[in-house]
Amino acid sequence: MYMNVRYRHKLYKSVNMMRMFLWAAAFFAPVLILKIRKRQPILEFPVEINSSEKHRIALDYKLYPDLFYTNRGKYTGLYLSWYRKMGKGRKKFVSDAGKWTGNAGYNHTLGDTIAVDRDIFDSRDDACRDIYDVDDFDIKSLPKASVVIPFHNEPLSSILRTLHSLLTRGPREVIKEVILVDDGSTNDKTCLKEPIEKAILTLPGVKLIRTVQREGSTKARLIGAAYVTGEVISYLDSHVECNRNWLLPILHHIHHHPNAVAMSLLDTIFGDSFNLQKSWLGSHGGFNWNLEFYWKPIPAELRKSLKNTDPIPSPIMPAGAFALRMDFFRQLGMLDPDMRIWGVDDVEFSFRAWQCGGRVEIHPCSRVGHIFRSVPYSFQDKPGKVIFHNAVRSAEVVLGPDYRKFFYGQATHYDVSVNRTSLKERIQLKKNLNCKSFEWYMSNIIPEMPIPPNDAVFYERLENVGKSLCLEDSNGAPSLAECVSLKSSQMAYINKENQLRIGSKCLGQNKMDSKNNMDTRVKFVDCAESGFVFGWEYVKGRLENGGRCLDFVKENVVLSNCTGDQQPSQRWRFKYNFDWNKRLSYF
């Protein structure tokens, strides 16, 4: 009996040990595989740190398994760590990916599970491939580019995808160096300290510069420019993926047009799924009177004159992926060093490039996927205050007295301190360069953009809140249609005389109809028409005429009895509200 118990105890002990061994083997299998991989050194790369010798670098997957995951592997180290931690909730986590954006402004945790050298589909037109993918394309004649990438607390996986894509699809032969500028990153969890330093040791020609404190995107770009040795400087955001031969069209165009500021066509990478969506050739950059960038339709005549491989003139460009000759960049005065953190710097530089002898163009054969973040940048102050400061600098330097009133008249004013000395220096720079006026810019570069009337109080795109459609003049008959930027038949405004106008016509009701209480049709007629009532009051989002409210009933724009503030079909909003009593200059 004693022997049976003892034997049984040993058997149980052996079984338990075997269970523990199997559990441990299953749990640590990925780590064991990574350790085996660790012993296999990869290719030789020159390390340009006090030495030009070549070193064989074995990747330390134990410490930083996420850094070097490629398509040949199955999961990144970050994914394995996350997979174990999330347990049963991991599938729901991926399905709810859009909610997990953090400070990055996109789902960086999902991004950590995606290969840093993943394949993306070629979004270029076939005609572009016929030009730039041929064996006899003359690469040797092109200038070499220095690529500058500023970042602040960017997830490491996004930076590495940016680096891998720009280097492997450049092609590498036209890239002289890549300069990373760490703009005061503080979040150590994003692996931006020792891990990124180890990562770039394996990437030839990549340099890392760190700022002592947060400087902002504009100053970080300028810091990177100070280390550029190539003929061309190319700026990229740190959350992009470059497509095949992305630099060749840019450098070829700059080589033949030395005063060109060439921008890649930005495809969209969705921040919740990391899926890539091709952008079509129907839009280029514009601005509004807040001096904000937005995409607007290319005028029809210009679009018809361009082939699918022709650079597209763009009044404004975003700063996500552009390049120009370094000597021309210096000649233009580079970027305004007193711009803070983020915002308006790309609009101001676009103005200056066009006015001072350059041209801004989007090259459709250069494709770069870009994550448009829900939060574009983190600010050290109120975002509105920072952006207003930058917009003030742009308005004072670029717009001139005849146009800056449209910015100041409708802007939300903040108490900001503007360096007037440096403003005068930037104004003097434009004089030294014999730059053209902003009136020239409006007439020649963006003539389709209407200028607000001097007597406008409320202006541009009168939108019905209930329908999310805009008031339009359809040959005298008011209607609601999809809101379209800069569409002349939708450029509505109320002037100081309380007239609601689109173009030269006023919206009014017939005096005879104004006496009844039924729903009354309104019309766009000549503003001098004596038989119509034109007086409108815009109060709490409602448009009142003769005690009744503008409404949308049974697919018709009519005057109805006012039913209170909660009736969506009777609520309207303008894009701008001009107050000409506001301060209209900082000088």
Annotated domain spans of the chain: 142-371, 383-444, 456-577
- The partner residues of 175 in beta bridges, in order of sequence, read 145
- Per-residue pLDDT, 109: 82
The length of the chain in residues reads 587
- Per-residue pLDDT, 48: 30
Q: How far is CA 27 from the centre of its chain?
A: 42
Same-fold call for 142-371 versus 456-577: no
Distances (CA, A) of 157 to 86, 100, 305: 19, 16, 41
CA distance 419 to 301: 42
- Per-residue pLDDT, 90: 40
- Per-residue pLDDT, 22: 60
Contacts of 361 (CB under 8 A, 6+ apart): 253, 260, 261, 262, 263, 311, 312, 313, 314
Residue with tokens 């379209």: 484
Return the structure tokens found at 50.
């006090």
Burial (0-12, 13-18, 19+ Cβ within 10 Å), 208:
middle
- Per-residue pLDDT, 94: 44
- Per-residue pLDDT, 32: 34
Contact 345, 392 (CB under 8 A): no
- Per-residue pLDDT, 225: 95
3-state secondary structure at position 152: coil
- Per-residue pLDDT, 514: 60
CA 256, 259, 265, 269 dihedral sign is positive
Contact 439, 478 (CB under 8 A): no
Q: How far is CA 153 from the centre of its chain?
A: 17
Q: How far is CA 133 from the centre of its chain?
A: 28
Residues of the chain with confidence (pLDDT) below 70: 1-104, 187-191, 374-384, 414-417, 513-519, 565, 583-587
Provide CATH code, domain 142-371: 3.90.550.10
- Per-residue pLDDT, 372: 83
- Per-residue pLDDT, 539: 87
Architecture of domain 456-577: Trefoil (2.80)
